[in-house]
Amino acid sequence: MSTAENEKSVQTAQRKGSLLSFRPDIKVLDATLRDGGLCNDFRFTDEFAKALYKANVAAGVDYMEMGYKASKALFDPQKFGKYKFCDEEDLRAVVGENPSPMKLSVMADVGRTDFRKDIGPKKDSVVDMVRVACYVNEIPRAIEMIEYCAKQGYETCANLMAVSKAKEEEICAALDMLGNSPADVIYLVDSYGSLYPEQVAKLTLLYLEYGDKYKKSIGMHAHNNQQLAFGNTIEAASWGASYLDMTMNGIGRGAGNCSSELLLGFLKNPKFHLTPVLRFLTDYMLPLRAQGTVWGYDIPYLLTGRLNMHPSSAIAFLRAERSDYAEFYGELQDRD
């Protein structure tokens, strides 16, 4: 679809649902252990993970992401907590047989997962969904993984990262290829936290065009570099995205994600409950922050987001205990 056509579709499209009603198709996914794990090398205690599981079940969360399925050949298990690898026995230590209605997901990065070795048949696992994360130029490798995981019996999901860097024709080609794959859900991922709500609206309508054609649900994963993670998530939802990622207090790499407390405070489906989330914030997220784990909006992340760049240089800036924002902004523009 051309840009002009997409412009027209935003003008003529209708938002789905209303602020006072709810859409039963909307599902929320808690990514606290996975995206939050990027803040502490996945070193969450068993107590934290178990309490998170209970809080999510009580809050009516649809999916809880337990972490990554990272390759132990590429990443030293001594250097990371267990949620980077999500071994089956480690998951069961947290969720047992998962008797709850909440489903469990793991994320597998293209090129960083020994998927044939580490992802076995669904019948032997408490995991329900595998989410495959890839860049636009990695679609064939992502589809290989999605096909493998679907054959193993899992729900599958494609998280197309960093679309703010991709051209629209590339995104369309990727959506077409993923449309022809077994993926159940295709995610719009604002990896750099650079998208404004108007852009999210246009991209969501573009994704939905392919979603409608190929019978796929569309998801939204936002970052908070410009304090737009929640705003962009409900913008995408209002046009029809139905899988929405969130984390407790917005924990996640750099500026973090859409906060569970904001999203569950907004959604009107009576199956969702805010109070278990609030208790978890008091009992576990405040101590986590007090013990030194750092995340959330900060000026360096705004600057990488505004310039549509990976947050890595902002993370390095803060680790170096620098606060000369103007000089950093100059350096980023030289680098761009």
From 1, 67, 75, 6, select the one nearest 39 (Cα to Cα): 67
Q: Would you list the DSSP string of 107-125?
A: EEETTS--HHHH---GGG-
Segment lying near a second copy (by CB under 8 A), choices 14-22, 28-36, 42-50, 212-220: 14-22
- Pairwise CA distance, residues 331 & 131, whole Å: 35
Least separation in angstroms between residue 164's CB and a second copy is 12
Q: Confirm or reject binding of residue 266 to a second copy (CB under 8 A).
A: yes
- Asked if 139 and 172 touch (Cβ cutoff 8 Å), the reply is no
Q: Confirm or reject binding of residue 93 to a second copy (CB under 8 A).
A: no
Name residues whose C-beta falls within 8 Å of residue 118's C-beta, 6 or more positions apart in sequence: 69, 71, 72, 85
Q: Confirm or reject binding of residue 172 to a second copy (CB under 8 A).
A: no
Question: Among 68, 235, 245, 304, which residue sits at the site for a second copy (rule: CB under 8 A)?
Answer: 235
Least separation in angstroms between residue 255's CB and a second copy is 11
Q: Confirm or reject binding of residue 199 to a second copy (CB under 8 A).
A: yes
Q: Confirm or reject binding of residue 57 to a second copy (CB under 8 A).
A: no
Segment lying near a second copy (by CB under 8 A), choices 106-114, 160-168, 178-186, 324-332: 324-332
User: What does the block give as tokens for 2?
Assistant: 């051309």
User: What does the block give as tokens for 196?
Assistant: 């404004």
Segment lying near a second copy (by CB under 8 A), choices 56-64, 65-73, 107-115, 297-305: 297-305
Is 318 in a helix, a strand, or coil?
Answer: helix
Least separation in angstroms between residue 329's CB and a second copy is 6
DSSP β-ladder status, 217-221 and 63-68? unpaired
Q: Confirm or reject binding of residue 293 to a second copy (CB under 8 A).
A: no
Nearer to a second copy, 3 or 137 (CB): 3
- Pairwise CA distance, residues 164 & 309, whole Å: 9
Nearer to a second copy, 89 or 321 (CB): 321
Query: Going residue by residue from 133 to 152, which x/- string records binding to a second copy, judged by CB under 8 A?
Result: --------------------
- Pairwise CA distance, residues 320 & 111, whole Å: 30
Q: Confirm or reject binding of residue 22 to a second copy (CB under 8 A).
A: no
Q: Confirm or reject binding of residue 297 to a second copy (CB under 8 A).
A: yes
Of the CA atoms within 13 Å of residue 293, those in its CB half-sphere come to: 21
Residue 58 phi, psi (nearest 5): -65, -30
Least separation in angstroms between residue 87's CB and a second copy is 33
- Pairwise CA distance, residues 88 & 292, whole Å: 29
User: What does the block give as tokens for 66?
Assistant: 């337990």
Q: Which residue in this structure is represented by tokens 């959330």?
A: 296
Nearer to a second copy, 141 or 310 (CB): 310
Which positions lie near a second copy, rule CB under 8 A? 11, 14-15, 19, 196-199, 224, 226-232, 234-235, 238, 249, 259, 261-262, 265-266, 274-275, 278-279, 281-282, 286, 297, 299, 302-303, 306, 323-326, 329-330
